[in-house]
Amino acid sequence: MEELNLFEYAQKQLDTCAEILDLDPGVHAILRVPMRELHISIPVKMDDGTTKVFQGFRVQYNDARGPTKGGIRFHPEENVNTVRALSAWMTWKCSLLNLPLGGAKGGVICNPKEMSERELETLCRGYAYRVSSIVGPDKDVPAPDVYTTPQMMAWMMDEYSKTVGSHKFGVITGKPLSVGGSAGRGDATARGGMITIREAAKELGIDLRKATFAVQGFGNAGSFAAHLAVSMFGSKVVAITDSRGGIYNADGLDTEAVSEHKAKTGSVIDFPGSTPISNENILELDVDVLVPAALENVITEKNAAKIKAKIIAELANGPTAPDADDILHNNGVHVIPDFLCNAGGVTVSYFEMVQNFYMYYWEEEEVHKRLDKKMTPAYHSVLETSKTYNINMRVAAYVVAIERVVESMSDRGWV
């Protein structure tokens, strides 16, 4: 089976937008490839006395609008094409939210679940040291992503600060509050997604107090999404899955109790009062809102026609294959595309950068208000563009984001 190449997906989405915008071929060519890539090798002395060499990447896609921004993933199946795709999506995401930032992404091929804390700290510090020449508060600001944590960001910040010889809390975001982190960062991705769902529900005439949700993926974003659907809207979460399986209850699930169950058992499966459901079947449930918050490429041309949800809110990166978008659009499914829906994380990371720069920190309520002021107009800019061009929401998001990047490139004299 041919390996899924997310970067080809990202390029295909860009190509569709370039045709709509009638982009100059030279401009299109610039936007199709990363501006800069760094491949690194990181030796780590393991606890058993052996030395293991880990491969890592940092991809800076486009910095026309400002310093690049993007997470660092630690994953055993990480590859540079995934990192390239995510760096492209970060470029469009920052532009779409009208942040003065470009897009980047980083990754290390490793399995952090099999490493001790000391080994992980050594790996984090090694990564920070080896990318130090191309990152910085006014160059490129990383953040946590898959299998990376605030503690790991603190180690990287500390190593970078040692390397350059001064305190540089702003070199990285997603840090603990004690070293320059931002209040409101924990649930920012999910909260931003909820704001876009709220606006979509208004557009579609859906009463969220009576709405049903299904959440595929019960990690950080998915678990917060489930809790916020209840606390913000009074909605009913009827189905939840994780990597081991899922649970369903038509009368609604107690999301807090599900979290406690997963903390004790390692999975949502076998939650009392629920029936089993698979990660495949949850996608086809008759619910108002489907939240894919786990893996890439779960909605494809094979199952898109079976989707019954009125709204798909893509908290995961790349959950919908390009060939599925038109099917969903033609069937009247309102898709809130990933780099709009999950942009709350990078938006609050940007807020963390701002707070680091002027060394004054906001209360959580202030962060929530500012996030709403960014997410709401971003959603409506995409919605209006979708209507203007009669295109689906994903392509519309690309149109808005790419127009802004191209304008910055033009004003800087790049093209």
Please check the confidence at residue 127 and state whether its pLDDT lies above 90.
yes
| Amino acid at site 285 | L
Distance in angstroms between the alpha carbons of the first and the last residue of the chain:
40
Q: Measure the CA dihedral 367/263/253/364, to 10°.
A: -10
- Give me 247's structure tokens: 């649970």
pLDDT digits (tens, 9 = 90+) for 52-82: 999 999 999 999 999 999 999 999 999 999 9
Query: What is the pLDDT at residue 6?
Result: 83
Query: What is the pLDDT at residue 364?
Result: 97
DSSP per-residue string spanning 309-343:
-SEEE--SSS-B-HHHHHHHHHTT-EEE-HHHHTT
Pairing of strands 68-75, 140-144: parallel
Looking at residue 4, the DSSP 8-state letter turns out to be: P
Please check the confidence at residue 146 and state whether its pLDDT lies above 90.
no
The distance from CA 336 to its chain's CA centroid, rounded to whole angstroms, is 13
What mean pLDDT is reported for the chain?
Answer: 95
- Give me 175's structure tokens: 């840090």
CA-based torsion, 373, 377, 378, 380: positive or negative = positive
What span, in angstroms and rounded, lies between the C-alpha atoms of 268 and 219? 11
- Give me 55's structure tokens: 């491969």
Catalytic residue among 52, 69, 93, 105: 105
How many beta carbons lie within 10 A of that of residue 356, not counting itself?
Answer: 24
**Using an 8 Å Cβ cutoff, are 267 and 259 in contact?**
no
Is position 105 annotated as part of the catalytic site? yes
CA-based torsion, 264, 270, 274, 279: positive or negative = positive
Q: Strand, coil or helix: what is 238?
A: strand
In which element (H, E) is residue 128 found?
Answer: helix 117-131
pLDDT digits (tens, 9 = 90+) for 277-297: 999 999 999 999 999 998 888
pLDDT digits (tens, 9 = 90+) for 207-255: 999 999 999 999 989 999 999 999 999 999 999 999 999 999 999 999 9
What domains does the chain contain, in order, with CATH numbers? 36-169 (3.40.50.10860), 188-341 (3.40.50.720)
Query: What is the pLDDT at residue 1?
Result: 33
CA-based torsion, 84, 105, 354, 198: positive or negative = positive
pLDDT above 90 coverage of the chain, percent: 92
Residue in the block written with tokens 């030279």: 26
Looking at 16-20, 178-182, 194-198, which range is the least confident one? 16-20
pLDDT digits (tens, 9 = 90+) for 300-357: 999 999 999 999 999 998 899 878 988 999 999 999 999 899 999 999 999 999 999 9
pLDDT above 70 coverage of the chain, percent: 99
Residues in a beta bridge with 378: none
How many beta carbons lie within 10 A of that of residue 269, not counting itself?
Answer: 18
Query: What is the pLDDT at residue 360?
Result: 96
Please check the confidence at residue 3 and state whether its pLDDT lies above 60.
no
What span, in angstroms and rounded, lies between the C-alpha atoms of 210 and 309? 14
Residues in a beta bridge with 241: 216, 246
Query: What is the pLDDT at residue 296?
Result: 80
Please check the confidence at residue 2 and state whether its pLDDT lies above 80.
no
What span, in angstroms and rounded, lies between the C-alpha atoms of 187 and 366? 14
Query: What is the pLDDT at residue 13?
Result: 85
Query: What is the pLDDT at residue 321?
Result: 86
Please check the confidence at residue 362 and state whether its pLDDT lies above 90.
yes
Query: What is the pLDDT at residue 275?
Result: 97
Please check the confidence at residue 370 and state whether its pLDDT lies above 60.
yes
How many beta carbons lie within 10 A of that of residue 116, not counting itself?
Answer: 10
What span, in angstroms and rounded, lies between the C-alpha atoms of 68 and 87? 9
> Which of 362, 406, 335, 298 is closest to 25 using CA atoms?
406
Compute the average pLDDT of residues 89-94: 95
Confidence of residue 358 (pLDDT cuts 50, 70, 90): very high
Confidence of residue 4 (pLDDT cuts 50, 70, 90): low
Compute the average pLDDT of residues 77-99: 95
Residues in a beta bridge with 240: 215, 247
